Amino acid sequence: MKYLWPCLIVLLAGCTTATADPVVVEDRVLVWGEIQTFPTQPVEKWNWSAADAVLADYDDTAISVAIWPYALWDQATCHAGFPTVVTGYGLHFQAPYPPCDTAAYQTWVQAVVERYGDRVSNWRIIDQSDQQEPPLANFIGSTAEYEALVDLTETAIMQ
């Protein structure tokens, strides 16, 4: 089901610190499946290297960063029968559907916040979530599914 959002970026109200005009990090560095590469991977084995390298360029700078809730291993557990969407962004978003294992997703978000939260002024959930058609499909789901994802992410950030 397609929908239109009046805003292209959802900023989580109440999940931000009071800083003026944070720098928007355009790189897609906080992609769940690129940091946690398989479901039973211990946290200490997660691959933070790409995110660390990009975000190091923003030390001592208030930033706005997007969370991308996609891990192919997660998507395969409840969306395996859905069509694979090969997008212009490559492997990041072959399956841009809502997370299947919401507890695992929240654990990942909490780890992201623990690692980078002191530098982040604004958390964004999927830039341009209204793009639902290849080659630039960022999220495929209903309005209710996206709202649930935002609520789930906000809960994880606030814990």
CA dihedral 94, 96, 101, 106 (to 10 degrees): 120
Segment 91-118, tens digit of pLDDT: 445 667 899 999 999 999 999 999 999 9
Segment 1-39, tens digit of pLDDT: 333 333 334 455 445 444 568 888 877 789 999 999 999
pTM of the model: 0.79
Segment 122-155, tens digit of pLDDT: 999 886 666 666 666 778 888 899 899 999 999 9
Are the CB atoms for 94 and 72 separated by under 8 Å?
yes
Segment 64-98, tens digit of pLDDT: 999 989 888 888 888 777 666 655 554 445 667 89
**Domain boundaries, given as residue ranges, for the chain:** 23-158
For domain 23-158, give the CATH superfamily: Glycosidases (3.20.20.80)
